[in-house]
Each structure stands twice: as C-alpha cells, then as structure tokens.
Chain A
Amino acid sequence: MTANAASPNHLQLTRDGQLRHFLTLDGLGRELLTDILDTADSFIEVGERSIKKVPLLRGRTVVNLFFEASTRTRSTFELAAKRLSADVLNLDINTSATSKGESLSDTLLNLEAMASDMFVVRHAQSGAPHFIAQSVTPGVAIINAGDGRHAHPTQAMLDMLTIRQHKGGFEGLKVAIVGDILHSRVARSQIRALNELGAEQIRVIAPGTLLPRDVESLGCTVEYDMARGMKDLDVVIMLRLQKERMEGALLPSEREFYRLYGLSQDKLALAHPECIVMHPGPINRGVEIESAVADGPQSVILNQVTNGIAIRMAVMSMAMGGQVAERQQKLNELSGLNERGLA
C-alpha cells in the first residue's frame, strides 16, 4: 500500500497499512474495511458471553473527548472501551475547561500528561480529529466519533456491519439514504463505504434544499420523488432531521416533510419485501419515520446499536494495535542501528 503525504492515509495508516488512527473512510480500501467488519463479528460473539470482556486494552487509558452532545455514540464508545478492559475517562468539554477559556491544544496537553493512550473525539468543527491526530504525541491513537458535516466513520461501519448481517454481503444491493443529506456526516461516510464495498446502487432521496451541491460526485444518484426512489430497494437508511442545524427556509414544515419523505408503511411497501429499515438515531417518530415502521419487523434499528459496540471495539483495538506495532518496529530499528554503531 502506498501512502503519499497528501492522502489521509499518511496520517491514519502505518507503513504496512495497519490502522493507527481512525479519522475517515476516505482512502481505506475494501480489504481493510472488510477486516474491520470481520473483527467486529468476533466482538459480537464476545458480547454474548457471560463475561463480555477481553484483555486487549488492559492498562491503557481511553479518553472520550466530546465537544458536542451525544448519548448513544458516547455510551457505546464507553462500553466498547470498557469491554476491551481499558480505563475510560469521559470528558464533556462543553461544560468543562474550554468554557473557562482553555484552548484545545492546552486541553490536549493536559490529557496527554495523564498518560492517555487514545482519544475518541467528537467535534462540531469538520477536521478537528485530523488536527488532533497531527499534533498528538506519537503512540496515541485518535478515533473520529463525528466531526462537523465531514465524517462519522464508526457509524457508517456499524451500518455496513448491520447490512452484511442481514443481506450476507453488498454485491447487487440497492440502498437508499433518505432525508437531511445536507447536514449529515453519516451520509457522507455511508456513501463512501457502500461504494468501496461494492453496493450496486446508492440513491439519495431528499428535497433539493437538503442536498449538498454536487452530491453525485460522492458516488450516488439523486431522487427527489420518494415513491420512485423506494422501488426495489434492499436497504433504506433514514436520517434524522437535524432541526438544530437548520438555518432559514430549508424546510416548508415538519408535516410537509413527513408527507413527502417520511417512511410510512405505504412507502415501505414499494420496496423489496425483504427491505431492511435503518436509522442512526435518535429517531423523530412521525417526522422521518412512522412508529409502526420503526418498531416493525423490517426495522433493524436496535441491531445497529448493538453492532455499534462491536464496531467500536474493532476500530479501537485495531488502531491501538497499529500504534503499538509501529512503536515496536521503530524500537527494533533503533536497536538495529545501535548494534551497527550508527546511533
């Protein structure tokens, strides 16, 4: 695997292509994505044991650094780290140091001084995890738990795991992502993952006002009419309407949106009879999705939550593994130089 300085992989992969940070799905190939899914499968089995814990991150400290509110993502990251036997520190930065005027860099320096081994970062600013990964002490792994409108790679991977569980693979699949694509970091990561893993069709279904400009360039087709978009679907992913991010007149009204783009039983009936229904949560019942659909037999929404723990365990242990392997490699090289009297 080649990595040049401009690609994100220069930052998130080791020289031999192992994960050492997990910032974005951009640049990660099908083989690595499949390794993540396979590793997560093994962690699902761990979650079914009487003791749901493995010793991989024993003695290491994971800091959940959340600059933006989140319940599901933070709690599944916390549980994942604990099931890997790590010590976990949860920091809600909104109510903490930055409100006392401390800069991001100073906060990080302090946390590093507590001998942290991994930061799980959620931030409203796109690129914040990249920034941290560039400046952090070598050996410390950074996991992106959602940054601005940019990416939410663990959410996308847990969605891929859920799809693979129910559909067996990605070959020939028709998948639609419906709703607020414009504000969605999840959608960007999902489209990227689905393309890399070989889904046949990726459709985005949304009103023009909730689509980013030039969305097709991400590798998907656009459908404004939901009835047409639902045809023959194997997977439909509903997105949450991010009311808190809406500025101006992007949306006529919630009722209007639900009539046009909400997933009702009638609309679901237009898809393939075995079409699964997904939603990253939290769901707005009656806004994006009818309760009967969210709780219905085709819904896999709660599977997604369970899979979220397994995916996060996989990504955390793989990134930590990449960091320690890289460190060991450097030590070996140094001792090789020492032996030859070159250092």
Chain B
Amino acid sequence: MSALLDVDQLMDKLEAGLRGLLNERGIESPVLIGIRTGGVWVADIIGKRLGIEEPFGELDISFYRDDFSRIGLNPKVTPSSLPFDTEGRDIILVDDVIMSGRTIRAAMNELFDYGRPASIILATLIDLGARELPIQPDVAGQSLTLGMQQRVKLRGPDPLRIELQETEQ
C-alpha cells in the first residue's frame, strides 16, 4: 500500500487550520520552526503558503531526546539553526508526524534554551494518536489510526509524498 494520502490536500487543511488559529489569536507575525527532517520540509511549504517571509528555523533534537540512556547519541546530528531571536515571538512548531509526543517534548525543551517565546502553536501534517505524553497538536492535516503492522513515513523533499507501509510479522 502506498500514497494513500494526498500531501496537497493535507497541506490545504493544515494551512486553513493555521490561518484560522492565527486569526483567532490575533497573531500577525509568527515564525516557523521545523523539526528535522520531515518537519522542515512541511515548514518550508506552509511558510510559502502563509506568506511568511522570514526564513524558517530548523531544530535537530538529538541532544534533547529522552532515550539517550538506552540507545546513546544519534551519530548523525546536525546543528540546529534558528535565524531569528525567539524571545517574545509567536512560534509555529512544525513536524510531519506526531505519535508518542516525545519528539515535541524534546523540541520544546530545546526551544526554551534559546529564549522565552510568547507562544507556541503545534502543527503536524499527520496525527497518529498513540500518545504517551499529554501533548496535542493545535492543527493537524489528518488524523489516522494505524494497524499494528502499519507504518507511515513522509518522503521528500521533492516531491513530498506520504508512504504507508505494511511491516513483516
């Protein structure tokens, strides 16, 4: 099974949801931060759609993961890059998929080491449920419940496509 979900449709929903929320909260100049790797691709597209001209930031959460004491350090860490001061800003934090919520916890811990943002909105392209922490996206392109053997993965960056895979056993 593959390409069950249409990326453009999900982006449409994510864009509409974000526009509504920004409007409702009266946020005029948000900045985008994508979580590597998939979240960065989504942030790039959403930024263009929302007409945000400020370059987006990229977070590599390797130093903040909660499984260091089980698996050690990710050998392929790359520097995070936030080309703006986060202090007092309204941030849209973007990831491709949310499941346990652990990645978002790590990302928020990292974000606060750069300063104190005014607010953070969490936007994900796909919400797979199966949460292990009390963290929920404010906007999601699509909610999805996977079977035990199913896995979903965003491939990209060009073209961006969603793969739904059946695993063995």
Spell out A's residues near B (CB within 8 Å).
Answer: 18, 35, 38-39, 41-42, 44-46, 49-51, 53-56, 317-318, 320-325, 328
Residues in B93-116 with C-beta less than 8 Å from chain A: 109, 112-115
B165 CB to nearest chain A CB (Å): 25
Complex interface: chain B residues within 8 A of A35 (CB)? 75-76
B39-77: contact bitstring with A at CB < 8 Å (1 yes, 0 no)?
000000000000000000000101110001111110111
Q: Do A38 and B76 touch (CB < 8 A)?
A: yes
Whether A56 contacts B71 in the complex (CB less than 8 A), given A45-B79, A45-B80, comes out as no
The reply to whether the CB of B78 lies closer than 8 angstroms to some CB of chain A is yes
Whether A44 contacts B79 in the complex (CB less than 8 A), given A39-B73, A49-B114, A325-B72, comes out as yes
Q: How many A-B residue pairs have CB under 8 A?
A: 66
Closest 3 A/B residue pairs (Cβ)? A321-B72, A321-B73, A325-B72
Q: Do A328 and B77 touch (CB < 8 A)?
A: no
Cα separation A44 to B81 with both chains bound (whole Å)? 11
Partner of B114 from the list A50, A56, A321 (CB cut-off 8 Å) is A50
Complex interface: chain A residues within 8 A of B112 (CB)? 51
Q: Do A42 and B64 touch (CB < 8 A)?
A: no
Complex interface: chain B residues within 8 A of A38 (CB)? 76-78
Count class of interface residues, chain B: 20 to 34
Q: Do A50 and B79 touch (CB < 8 A)?
A: no
Cα separation A55 to B69 with both chains bound (whole Å)? 11
Cα separation A197 to B75 with both chains bound (whole Å)? 18
Q: DSSP class of A's interface residues: helix, strand, loop or mixed?
A: helix
Cα separation A160 to B5 with both chains bound (whole Å)? 46
Partner of A56 from the list B73, B78, B113, B115 (CB cut-off 8 Å) is B73
- 5 A-B pairs with C-beta separation under 8 A: A44-B79, A50-B114, A55-B109, A322-B72, A328-B69
Cα separation A44 to B78 with both chains bound (whole Å)? 11
The closest CB in chain B to the CB of A321 belongs to B72
Q: Do A46 and B68 touch (CB < 8 A)?
A: no
Partner of B113 from the list A18, A53, A317 (CB cut-off 8 Å) is A53
Partner of B64 from the list A51, A54, A323 (CB cut-off 8 Å) is A54
Q: Do A328 and B64 touch (CB < 8 A)?
A: no
Q: DSSP class of B's interface residues: helix, strand, loop or mixed?
A: loop
Q: Which residue, B60, B69, B73, B114, has most C-beta atoms of chain A within 10 A?
A: B73
Complex interface: chain B residues within 8 A of A324 (CB)? 68-72
Q: Do B71 and A42 touch (CB < 8 A)?
A: no
Q: Do A49 and B113 touch (CB < 8 A)?
A: yes
Q: Do A45 and B109 touch (CB < 8 A)?
A: no
Cα separation A35 to B6 with both chains bound (whole Å)? 37
Complex interface: chain A residues within 8 A of B75 (CB)? 18, 35, 39, 318
Whether A55 contacts B70 in the complex (CB less than 8 A), given A41-B79, A50-B113, comes out as no
Cα separation A35 to B75 with both chains bound (whole Å)? 7
Complex interface: chain A residues within 8 A of B64 (CB)? 54-55
Q: Do B63 and A54 touch (CB < 8 A)?
A: yes
Residues in B110-169 with C-beta less than 8 Å from chain A: 112-115
Complex interface: chain A residues within 8 A of B60 (CB)? 42
Partner of B81 from the list A18, A45, A50, A318 (CB cut-off 8 Å) is A45
Q: Do A318 and B79 touch (CB < 8 A)?
A: no
B11 CB to nearest chain A CB (Å): 29
B80 CB to nearest chain A CB (Å): 6
B16-43: contact bitstring with A at CB < 8 Å (1 yes, 0 no)?
0000000000000000000000000000
Cα separation A55 to B72 with both chains bound (whole Å)? 13
A332 CB to nearest chain B CB (Å): 10
The closest CB in chain B to the CB of A84 belongs to B63
Partner of A42 from the list B70, B80, B115 (CB cut-off 8 Å) is B80
The closest CB in chain A to the CB of B114 belongs to A49
Whether A18 contacts B72 in the complex (CB less than 8 A), given A55-B64, A56-B63, comes out as yes
Cα separation A86 to B72 with both chains bound (whole Å)? 15
Q: Do A55 and B63 touch (CB < 8 A)?
A: yes
Whether A328 contacts B70 in the complex (CB less than 8 A), given A39-B77, A55-B109, comes out as yes
Q: Do A321 and B68 touch (CB < 8 A)?
A: yes
Cα separation A51 to B110 with both chains bound (whole Å)? 10
